[in-house]
């Protein structure tokens, strides 16, 4: 991508719902194109505070199928949605109903659905920064909802959920053994629990298990204003999707932006995002440093004439 246009021009392009401007900016973020920072600063300050929904869960739990159904539901209500899929292994169809509409999307700027995937590989310093930046871009546009889908396997992916306002944790029906394993704690991050593939056996047992975990959590934090619901879905048929969408809306009506809980979440998000940017800048400084200089420093560390802390001091002192 060539040099970026002026931040003002970009803001104008985005506010007129330009998919092209948005897609180009996200590509620039992935490639760490120079000159992005002032653009992101302008976009952030003009951000709308759109509702950001994180959807996570184990591989193959049915996250993308669920998102497809949610897209269809949201569009039926005449609302708009942007989807950011982090490293998806399964593709988005946009839902059967939306197939044609999505095919047209490349040619039309006003369809109400934007889908973009981002790869987590090859992101120096962090996925956190890249996803945080992409969300800044999406938040500069008038979406009713922004959905981020990520596979909940590594800590990195789970961490990404800190960028969302609400987290939907998708599970599948568990056997008795799985239930024991799940007690280890992975369930703590969800605001809304989904037991997908409820056409399978064990769905009700899994729902009961999750409900008992939630009740236990309530005893520990009785002052919480939001109690996590457990929703049964079947994302191939669409069963339970409306229920899920209603719970998501209910979340936002309870956790309004001015409630202490939501303020705290958004404060945490800013801290998390800031740390992601900081890490990115520092790691980039290491990678961008003059190789010979670094090699010389490493030689000195090897022979104990220097140490890794001294090298860090040198890097921090270098012009950035």
Ligand X SMILES: Nc1nc2c(ncn2[C@@H]2O[C@H](COP(=O)(O)OP(=O)(O)OP(=O)(O)O)[C@@H](O)[C@H]2O)c(=O)[nH]1
The footprint of Mg ion (CB under 5 A) covers 63-64, 88, 90
Contact 132, 273 (CB under 8 A): yes
Integer Cα distance of 185 and 271 in angstroms: 24
β-pair partners for 81: 113, 145
Return the axis-axis angle of helices 19-30 and 7-15, rounded to nearest 10°. Answer: 130
In 10-110, the DSSP E strands lie at: 51-57, 81-86
The binder of 196, among ligand X, Mg ion, none, by C-beta within 5 to 8 A per type, is: ligand X
Residue 142: Cβ-neighbour burial (10 angstroms; 0-12, 13-18, 19+): exposed
Half-sphere exposure of 212 (CA within 13 A, CB side): 10
The angle formed by the CA atoms of residues 277, 165 and 215, to the nearest 5 degrees, is 125
Q: Output the smallest distance, CB 61 to ligand X, in A.
A: 4
Site string for ligand X, 260-289 (x = CB under 6 A): ------------------------------
Give the alpha-carbon dihedral of 123, 125, 129, 131, to 10 degrees. 30
81 burial level (CB within 10 Å; 0-12, 13-18, 19+): buried
Stretch that binds ligand X, among 15-23, 102-110, 196-204, 246-254 (CB under 6 A): 196-204
Contact by Cβ (8 Å): 235, 62: yes
Mention every residue, 6+ apart, whose C-beta is less than 8 A from residue 303: none
Position among 7, 36, 63, 132 found at the interface with ligand X (CB under 6 A)? 63
CA within 13 Å, CB half, 279 = 15
The smaller minimum CB distance to Mg ion, of residues 64 and 234, is found at 64
Q: How far is the CB of 216 from ligand X (least distance, A)?
A: 26
Closer to ligand X at the Cβ: 197 or 247? 197
Tell whether residue 59 is a contact of ligand X (CB under 6 A).
Answer: yes
Under rule CB under 6 A, which residues in 78-107 are in contact with ligand X?
88-90
Which of 141, 198 has the CB closer to ligand X?
A: 198
Write out the binding residues for ligand X, residues 137-156 only, by CB under 6 A. 151
* Other Cβ atoms closer than 10 A to 232: 20
In the bound complex, what is the minimum distance in angstroms from residue 152's beta carbon to ligand X? Answer: 9
Give the nearer residue to ligand X in terms of CB position, either 140 or 244.
Answer: 244
- 65 contributes a contact to ligand X by CB under 6 A: yes
CA distance 149 to 28: 20
Residue 60's binding partner, choosing from Mg ion, ligand X, none, with beta-carbon cut-off 5 to 8 A by kind? Answer: ligand X
Part of the chain binding ligand X (CB under 6 A), chosen from 25-33, 154-162, 230-238, 243-251: 230-238
The angle at the Cα of 70, spanning 54 to 91, to the nearest 5 degrees, equals: 75
Least gap, CB of 67 to ligand X (angstroms) = 8
Question: Which does residue 35 bind out of Mg ion, ligand X, none, counting CB within 5 to 8 angstroms by kind?
Answer: none
- Is 174 near ligand X (CB under 6 A)? no
Positive or negative, the CA dihedral 123, 127, 133, 139 is positive
Nearer to ligand X among residue 17 and residue 157 (C-beta) = 157
Partner that binds at residue 65, options ligand X, Mg ion, none, CB closer than 5 to 8 Å by kind: ligand X
308 binds, among Mg ion, ligand X, none (CB under 5 to 8 A by kind): none
240 binds, among Mg ion, ligand X, none (CB under 5 to 8 A by kind): none
Binding test (CB under 6 A) with ligand X, winner from 8, 35, 38, 60: 60
- List residues near ligand X by CB under 6 A: 59-65, 88-90, 151, 196-197, 199, 234-236
């Amino acid at each position: 991508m060539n040099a970026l246009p002026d931040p003002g021009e970009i803001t104008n392009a985005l506010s007129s719902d330009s998919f092209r401007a948005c897609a180009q900016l996200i590509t620039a973020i992935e490639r760490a194109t120079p000159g992005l920072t002032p653009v992101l600063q302008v976009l952030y300050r003009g951000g709308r505070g759109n509702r950001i929904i994180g959807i996570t869960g184990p591989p193959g739990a049915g996250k993308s199928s669920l998102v497809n159904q949610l897209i269809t539901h949201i569009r039926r209500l005449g609302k708009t949605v942007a989807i950011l899929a982090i490293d998806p292994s399964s593709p988005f169809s946009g839902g059967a109903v939306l197939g044609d509409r999505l095919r047209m999307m490349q040619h039309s700027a006003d369809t109400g659905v934007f889908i973009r995937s981002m790869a987590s590989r090859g992101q120096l310093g962090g996925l956190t920064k890249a996803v945080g930046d992409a969300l800044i871009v999406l938040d500069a546009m008038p979406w009713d909802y922004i959905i981020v889908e990520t596979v909940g396997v590594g800590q990195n992916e789970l961490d990404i959920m800190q960028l969302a306002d609400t987290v939907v944790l998708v599970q599948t029906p568990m056997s008795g053994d799985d239930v024991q394993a799940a007690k280890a704690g992975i369930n703590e991050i969800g605001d809304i629990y989904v037991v997908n593939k409820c056409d399978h056996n064990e769905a009700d047992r899994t729902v009961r298990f999750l409900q008992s975990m939630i009740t236990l959590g309530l005893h520990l934090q009785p002052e919480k204003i939001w109690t996590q619901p457990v929703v049964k879905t079947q994302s191939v048929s669409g069963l339970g999707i409306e229920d899920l969408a209603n719970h998501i809306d209910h979340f936002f009506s309870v956790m309004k932006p001015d409630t202490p809980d939501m303020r705290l979440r958004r404060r945490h998000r800013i801290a998390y995002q800031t740390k992601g940017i900081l890490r990115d800048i520092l790691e980039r400084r290491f990678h961008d440093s003059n190789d010979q200089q670094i090699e010389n420093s490493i030689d000195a560390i090897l022979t104990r004439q220097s140490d890794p802390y001294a090298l860090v001091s040198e890097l921090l002192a270098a012009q950035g």
